[in-house]
Amino acid sequence: MNGFARRSHPKLALAGSLAVLLFGLSLLPADLAQASSQKARDHLKRAKVYLAAGDYRRALEACQREVDEAPSAESYVYLTYVYHAVDGYLDSLAKTDRWVAVEHLYLNLATSGPQDLTDPPDVLARIAKEIVQGSVQRQADISAAMAGRLDNAAVERLWKQQAAWRKAKPDGWWTGVPEEWSW
């Protein structure tokens, strides 16, 4: 074998490896960011169903997963909105003296699994309202501030949309999200 042939084998091996790598990459999703965004959208779709069902704990968890997997001003606004939805629902229940439903909401937020069936977090409904309302208001303030730090223009746009949604559905806005949000 001549000297040229011996020296070209490593180059051929490198070229072959590069070709295999490029082929492998072509099999991956065209846009990994889009794939990640779709996964985040799945969280939002679930959150929308949870809001409609009145399962605010799971709605909050789904929006928190959205923040974890696709942090953005929008994801923080969505989380803030769900905190506000809990607050709005609590106000609605209190205004109509539906204290058993307040207790149910408290239990929904306080319980996380079967272990809570044997040791339930009992609390009086009116105290539960104050505890939950104070907590969601503080958490909403925190997540809203985080959203504003990331993209204030997006926050303003989204809050205008949700303000219009609340105005259009004053007696139940907390059971869904603005249509423009495409959850």
Q: Is there a contact between 74 and 44 (Cβ–Cβ < 8 Å)?
A: no
Quick one: pLDDT at residue 73? Answer: 96
Neighbour tally for 119: CB within 10 Å = 8
With a pLDDT cut of 70, the percent of the chain lying above it is 73
Quick one: pLDDT at residue 124? Answer: 79
> pLDDT digit string (tens) for 101-155?
999 999 899 887 776 656 666 677 888 889 899 999 999 999 999 999 999 999 9
111: which 2 tokens? 């319980």
Quick one: pLDDT at residue 117? Answer: 59
pLDDT mean over 27-45: 61
Output Rg (C-alpha) for the chain, integer angstroms: 25
What is the pLDDT of the chain when averaged over all its residues? Answer: 82
pLDDT(34) > 60 = no
Quick one: pLDDT at residue 14? Answer: 47
Quick one: pLDDT at residue 136? Answer: 93
pLDDT(45) > 50 = yes
Neighbour tally for 145: CB within 10 Å = 12
Quick one: pLDDT at residue 18? Answer: 45
pLDDT(8) > 80 = no
Amino acid in the structure at residue 158:
L
Q: Where are the alpha helices (DSSP H) in the chain?
A: 3-26, 32-53, 56-69, 73-95, 99-110, 115-118, 125-150, 152-168
Q: Is there a contact between 43 and 62 (Cβ–Cβ < 8 Å)?
A: yes
pTM of the model: 0.72
